[in-house]
Structures are given as C-alpha cells and as structure tokens.
Amino acid sequence: MEVDHGTDGQSAGATHPRLRLDYGGMFTAAFSDGAPVEISSLKARALLAYLALSPNMSHSREHLAALLWDRSDDERARASLRQAVGVLRRALGPLSDEIFLTKNADFLALDPSRIDVTLPDSKARGNGALLQTEFLEDLNIRSEPFEEWRRDYAARLYSQDENRAQSDYEVEAQKSASPSNGRAQAAPGKSMRYRVPMRFSLVLFAGAALVGALVLFGGGGFELARKPYTHGQNSIEITRQTAARQAHPELNQYIDRCEFDRADPDDAIAACTRVIDTLANDDPYKAIALTIRGSAHRWNGDFSQSTEDISQALLIDPTYHNAHHHMAYSYFLEGDYEQALDHYDRVKELFPVHVMSLYRTGEVYFAMQDFRKAEAAFSEAIKLAPDFGHAYLMRGKARLELGRYEAAKSDLRLAASLRPSLRTDAQEAYAAITK
C-alpha cells in the first residue's frame, strides 16, 4: 500500500530526489535511484520511521526524546536525539536539507513531497504473510512509548474493517502554515495525504492540552519535573564522547553504533572494538566504550567477557559510576549478590541519583529475600523517579512478602496505571493478596 504525495498526476520525483521507505517487513530506506540509505544507529532508524508516518507534522524534540529514550534523563535523552538526527543527516547527505523541514530548533518535521512510503498492503495483511506483531519488529529499541505507538499503529493498519482503518489513518495535511510553527508550506495545488493513527494523535492532543492546563492554572508555580538519571550516558559521558568524536572523526560511524542496549549486540561489540582499538589507554572515553562492549557481551550471555571488559574500564577510570553499575548487574545475573551490592554501593557514592542502580539494588535484596531492604531501595528509586512503574511493582511485591497488604495494593495499582505493560504482573500479584 503506497502513500501518494504527487501533484495533479505529476510526479514530484521527476525533478527532485526522493527518499523511499518500505514498512512491508524489515524497515528499509533507499534513495530514488535505488541505492540503500545506510543508517548505522537503530534509534536513528526508529526516529525516521516515526517521523515519516506523520509527515508535515512538527514534533517537539522533548516529545521525540521521551518517545525513544524513555529510560534516560532529559539531558541525556535530548543529547541522544541530537546524535540520532546527526546520524540521519549524514546518512541522507545533501537530501537531508530537503527532507528536514523545520527551521525551529525545538521541533522536527519531514517534507512528505520528498518521501515515498510503502506500507504492508491488504493482501499481505490478509493472508498472514506479515503478522501484525511483525510490523516494525526489527526496530526493537526497548522504549515503551515507542513500542506502544508501534502496537497502536499496527492494530489500526491491520484492522479487518479496512474502510474504517483507512479513514482513521488518512488525514489531509495543511496546505500552508506559518513558518514560525515549524510546519511545511505546500505549493498551491499540492495535495498531501498521509495515514496516521487517529487514536495516537488524540492522545498527543489530550496530553498537550493537559500540560497546557496545568501550566495555565498553576499560577506560574507549576514546573515539569525533570527525570533523574536512570541509565546510559550523563553529561560527563556525553562530554567524553564529544571529545572522542572531535579527536577521531574517522570513528564517528562506530561511536554511533557503540551504544548501550542495542538490539544487535554483535554489531555493538564490533563497533566498540574498533573504537577501543583506536583510542589510547589513557583516553577517558575508552572506559565508556569498554563498558558498553561489556554490556553487549552480557546481552549475548558471555558473562566472563563482560566482566573482563568492565574490569578494564575500571582500571582506566575507577570512578566511572556506570562501569560499576554494569559490573554489578553482571554479578547479579550470575548470582553473586555480595559482589553486586559492593558495586551498587559504589555507584551510590559516586552518583547518588542513579535510579537504575537503586532499583537494581532492590532487586538484589529481593532475590536474597531481604524484603525490608528491598522495600527501602525501591522507595529510594521512587523518590527520585515518581513515575517509575517497575519500582512500584517490585515494592508492591516486597510489601506483599512483608504482609503490608494495603500498601502493596496501592503500589500495584500505581504500577499498572503508570505502565500498561505491567498490568498482568500487577494483577497476578494483586490476586495473590485477595486469596
């Protein structure tokens, strides 16, 4: 199913280069001459896939950062977004200046007249050649807001009532808009039509209205809470990465792929290895690259290589808190709880607002059946991140073990409301209370 952005039967591609995006299986991008667009970063690919399904619509950088990096603090998420946009621009080359519309630095939008999108057609959907769950399955970036959007879009796209689905997805883009709001300005006579998930658009509109109301009625006292540091990079790590990029521009494509929690750990290992082999032993970014590679080895189940890499990172920089965090998690997964707690304690000394380390500390104590200390650790994480659904779930389970049933019920309800994906776990734990 192709989406047409032509004008009165005349192809815009006849005179202008275009970008071709195919959503009919593995998400692929190609130039109009058929040459593939090589996008090294998985999250940069996810960003392109998302923006292209809502063209001519300005998205705030704050929204995009939260969509793709939901487990990161605001500063790191915005920095990661800037890196992802940079990856896309480098991959698109000269075409990027035509595809990215927005001049306002706080918003991003794509020009639909430069993009051809192919969605899974009704035949592929109807005969089961491509399952609903497989839509954009290769863009597994481990971000719940993006995953919820993907599921919502797939559910509408694969609706059995195709007429209804099409009416939900198809909206008329504005033909002209003020450049100040970051939207495209279409030439006269151009009809720009695109399919977007109506329910998702309504959710965005409602969310924006709610935030607006809070600011309006807050009398100036309302302030959006900034998420504390959770995991991944912080400002120190970003500074070190920037210095490495400047000193070694030939490593940029490898640094793009040497990142935590990549869906393809083997590719992350290969990219990090290139970075590690190039950097001098006293380069502070080498400790970060070693930690990322160690994390990727852990994803592959190679705990020995994981701890070896992270140990090398700590030899370079014993104060690097994220190396202690990942070393602790490797020990935890291997069942060495005492070693794990030692490293989590070190993280707390070096970086007290590291929420994931506090949460993982709770998991260690829970595994040790020390439910009081587990409850205390989860409470510390919640104090720093009041919307941390997983922490409420685990604290609820700890309180259940301590016989604090009313408090446990409250935590489990909050977990389910904050994270719909936790609802089943919360319900099962709640059922145990009510027996």
Reported as a single tens digit per residue, the pLDDT across 194-249 is 333 444 444 434 444 433 333 322 333 222 233 444 444 466 778 888 899 999 99
Average of pLDDT values for 422-434? 81
pLDDT higher than 90, residue 318: yes
Domain boundaries along the sequence of the chain: 2-214, 235-434
CA gap 187, 153 in Å, rounded: 29
CA dihedral sign, ordered 311, 312, 315, 317? negative
The domain covering 235-434 belongs, at the CATH homologous superfamily level, to Tetratricopeptide repeat domain (1.25.40.10)
| 8 A C-beta contact, residue 85 and residue 241 | no
Across 40-49, 149-158, 298-307, least confident range:
149-158
Helix (H, G, I), strand (E, B) or coil at 60: strand
Cβ–Cβ < 8 Å for 425, 411: no
pLDDT, one tens digit per residue, over 139-196 is 877 787 888 788 777 776 765 334 433 333 333 233 323 333 333 333 333 333 333 3
At residue 273, the pLDDT reads 96
pLDDT tens for 62-97 read 888 888 987 777 778 888 888 889 889 899 988 888
Reply yes or no on domain 2-214 having CATH 1.10.10.10.
Answer: yes
Q: What is the pLDDT of residue 159?
A: 57
pTM for the full predicted model: 0.52
Instruction: Quote the distance between the C-alpha of residue 86 and its chain's center.
Output: 16
d(CA 151, CA 58): 22
- Average pLDDT for 416-426: 83
Is the pLDDT reported for residue 9 higher than 70? no
Topology agreement, domain 2-214 and domain 235-434: no
Q: What is the pLDDT of residues 358-411, one digit of tens each?
A: 999 999 999 999 999 999 999 999 998 888 889 999 999 999 999 999 999 999
Q: How far apart are CA 411 and CA 190, in angstroms?
A: 53
Mean model confidence pLDDT for the chain: 76
Side chain identity at residue 54, one-letter code = S
Contact 294, 326 (CB under 8 A): yes
